[in-house]
Structure 1
Amino acid sequence: MLDELIKKNRSYRKFAQVTIKCDEIKKILEILRFVPSARNAQPLKYIASCNKEKNEQIFSTLKWAGYLTDWNGPDKTQKPSAYIVILQDKSISNDNFVLTDAGIALQTILLKSVEMGFGGCTIAAIDKPRLSSILNLKENLEILYVVAIGKPAETIEIIDVKDDIKYYRINDIHYVPKRSLSELIYAIIE
């Protein structure tokens, strides 16, 4: 079952226009209470938005799909239904261990979203000062990532890497090259 969730978990960038209730997002956030944290510091905080107006403001601070230079992101009929903003509370921890925590949280958010019939996309290309202002964040809170969540409305195909690892689109199919297992394994020591 975990294998299937991982294989369905793609970086979706086009979404069907469905409503995601905040109670559904709370289910995703609830599971984050149980994930590991370096030194058990638990320095991550989250802001969830299911509000259309606030979602528009968040959307305006994001850059989508860096390799697709001729695409500016989802159009108004393809935008996500919700967002989770991942924050570092520097008053709890201000070290690089937070990136490990954030990676665990990101994967958990995305896998739980897939389990619930949604999909997501992790975004790090953010106008952080502007989004901080929009969200009225205190100085101790730093934006790390934004996760867009919605009902996927695109086809994504995994293919083997040939010459390049850059994802691309042909005829509205999003192709994602992945390295072979033999390229990933440096050594197995028996």
Structure 2
Amino acid sequence: MNETVPAAPVSAESMAKQGCEKLGLDAFDALVRRARTCRRFDESMRVPREFLLELAELAHLAPCGANAQRLRFHVVSGAEDCARVFDELAWAGALKDWPGPAEGERPTGYIAILAERAVPGKPAAPITDVDTGIAAQTMMLAARSATPEVAACMFKAFTPHAIDAMGLDNDKYELKLIMAFGVPAETQVIDAIDSNPDGSINYWRDEARVHHVPKRPLADVLL
């Protein structure tokens, strides 16, 4: 009598891949996987102001809570203006004890995401981190879909003078996030969660200066 051999269990990653192929999501899957944060750019190839304005337009069209549309965007593209913004950014959180990219590898454009401060006596829908995150991710994905690709780095940490460096009114606007853009000068890869030689889940770079981004497998985050 022949015994039925149970089928080998299918991993969550394999099932997700099957769904990706079945639904025609291959291109978007590839886009999300390469839309990693970049921290070193080719400063000789400047991002055109027109491109940054288009990214702001796409972020403005993205969904937001109650369709309140309270986010505001400020584009920085000139070399001198970019240098002023760069000086106000906190790079140390990206890689431990790293002061940031050297000259020649710095961003060549910025988009600040801001919110108008509430006016006394005038009710306004709140600005949530969800709205800010959706706008930022929309710009990051759009930038990576361009030809040639443009990469981004998101900053939640900056000095109190960052808004002044942009020539904006701190009494009227609250700076929520700064997006830095440029043509990438490094390779970023998604890696296993335990890939970092120091055993942490922090970003790390190898001898070839490849930027590794440890990610948990799908099975670890499914409940």
Q: With the length of structure 2 as denominator, give the TM-score of the two structures.
A: 0.78
Q: Work out which of the residue numbers 165, 168, 172 in structure 2 matches 1:140.
A: 172
Which residue of structure 1 lines up, in the alignment, with residue 213 of structure 2? 176
1:83 aligns with 2:113: no
Q: Work out which of the residue numbers 48, 51, 55 in structure 1 matches 2:75.
A: 48
Name the count of aligned residue pairs: 184
Q: Indicate the structure with greater strand content.
A: 1
Structure 1 pair 170–145 and aligned structure 2 pair: CA distance change class (3 A): same
> Once the 2 structures are TM-superposed, how far is the Cα of residue 151 of structure 1 from its aligned partner?
0.4
Which residue of structure 1 lines up, in the alignment, with residue 12 of structure 2? none
Q: Which runs of 5+ in 1 are unaligned?
A: none
Could you say what secondary structure the match of 1:33 adopts?
Answer: helix
AA matched with 2:189: E
Q: Which runs of 5+ in 2 are unaligned?
A: 1-26
> Once the 2 structures are TM-superposed, how far is the Cα of residue 54 of structure 1 from its aligned partner?
0.6
RMSD: 1.6
Which residue of structure 1 lines up, in the alignment, with residue 87 of structure 2? 60
Q: With the length of structure 1 as denominator, give the TM-score of the two structures.
A: 0.91
1:167 aligns with 2:203: yes
> Once the 2 structures are TM-superposed, how far is the Cα of residue 137 of structure 1 from its aligned partner?
2.3
1:98 aligns with 2:128: yes
Which residue of structure 1 lines up, in the alignment, with residue 49 of structure 2? 22
Q: For 1:158 and 1:65, locate their aligned partners in 2 and report how far apart those are by CA, in whole Å.
A: 21
Q: For 1:72 and 1:46, locate their aligned partners in 2 and report how far apart those are by CA, in whole Å.
A: 27
Q: For 1:99 and 1:56, locate their aligned partners in 2 and report how far apart those are by CA, in whole Å.
A: 27
Q: Work out which of the residue numbers 102, 111, 115 in structure 1 matches 2:141.
A: 111
1:157 aligns with 2:189: yes
Q: For 2:60 and 2:135, locate their aligned partners in 1 and report how far apart those are by CA, in whole Å.
A: 10
Asked if the contact 2:190–2:213 (Cα under 8 Å) also holds between the matched residues in 1, the reply is yes
Asked if the contact 1:32–1:108 (Cα under 8 Å) also holds between the matched residues in 2, the reply is yes
1:33 aligns with 2:60: yes
Could you say what secondary structure the match of 1:100 adopts?
Answer: helix
Q: For 1:67 and 1:29, locate their aligned partners in 2 and report how far apart those are by CA, in whole Å.
A: 24
Could you say what secondary structure the match of 1:4 adopts?
Answer: helix
